[in-house]
Amino acid sequence: MLAAGLAGAAVGRGTDGLIDAEPVAAAPPVPAPPVEAAASAVEVPGVLAPPTGVVDALPGEGSSIALTIDDGTNSEVVASFIAFAAETGTRLTFFPNGCYRSWEDNAKALRPLIESGQVAMGNHTWSHPDLTTLGDREVAEEIARNRDFLRSVFGVTDSPFFRPPFGAHDERIDRISADAGHPTVVMWDGTLGDSRVLTPAELMTSAREWFSGQRIIVGHANHRTVTGLYDELLGLVAERGLRTVTLADVWATPAQRVRGASGTGRARLG
């Protein structure tokens, strides 16, 4: 049985368990690397260029649903998500904080899913601060340090996606994020609800409320409640005629389009 999974959304402040995970050291940030060249890009019909600015839902009408998973304070939960994706083909987008050892612990299993395009990655800062309380330099360092972590641990050099911790951002934060190589600020319009520990019934109530076409759902890889709920969550996806997509299935750089085409053969849009 899969060990843990789809942990809930930081819709408000106070993500439980964030202070319990042991941070790891990382090298100082370096300038943003160039996006991979588009010379060999494969055109994937329906895939859009990443927008500059804020998105909180998938575009248009359809039956796609984007499951996006933040943080990663618990290594067992991160491992569970990876196993869940590998065993079921579910497409996920992770927004990790690089300070948590869980991501390096599970990098060997996760990298093939990233390379195939089944899993996409975005930047969620290095240590999950409220960026609106920091100065420009500190904001840039948080974003750049995590960007460098994504590159060194997972080989991700071209993700346009940024999610501010707690959803706290303003025009200043958006500009600094874009300058660091992440022009698309990803919010959400649905949640698994477990910024606190939930019972299974509570988590499924939240899923039933929010699972519908063209939604971006937010969750966390922090709590274990969902351990026994994967089948129920996928059953709900199937019952409602939905299909999972990564954010890069919808908005992609040229290099992401190559990975998506090789991994799926087509864009998985609604």
Q: Which has the minimum average pLDDT: 53-62, 144-153, 200-209, 251-260? A: 251-260
In Å, how far are 45, 50, 56 from 185, measured between CA atoms? 23, 10, 9
User: Is the pTM above the cut of 0.95?
Assistant: no
**Residues 191, 218: contact at Cβ < 8 Å?**
yes
Q: pLDDT band for position 258 (50/70/90)?
A: low
Neighbouring CB atoms inside 10 A of 59's CB total: 15
Contact 10, 218 (CB under 8 A): yes
pLDDT reported for residue 262: 45
Amino acid at 61: E
Which amino acid makes up residue 63?
S
The single residue listed with the structure tokens 């060990």 is: 3
- Please tell me the least confidently modeled range out of 35-44, 115-124, 138-147: 35-44
Q: Which residue has the higher pLDDT, 57 or 28?
A: 57
Q: How much is the mean pLDDT over the chain?
A: 84
pLDDT at 71 over 50: yes
Which H helix or E strand runs over 176? helix 171-179
List C-alpha distances in Å: 231 to 34, 92, 204, 214.
Answer: 40, 16, 11, 21
1 has pLDDT over 50: no
The pLDDT, as a whole number, for residue 228 is: 81
- pLDDT tier at 35, thresholds 50, 70, 90: very low
**38 or 178, greater pLDDT:** 178
Q: Which fold has domain 50-264?
A: TIM Barrel (3.20.20)
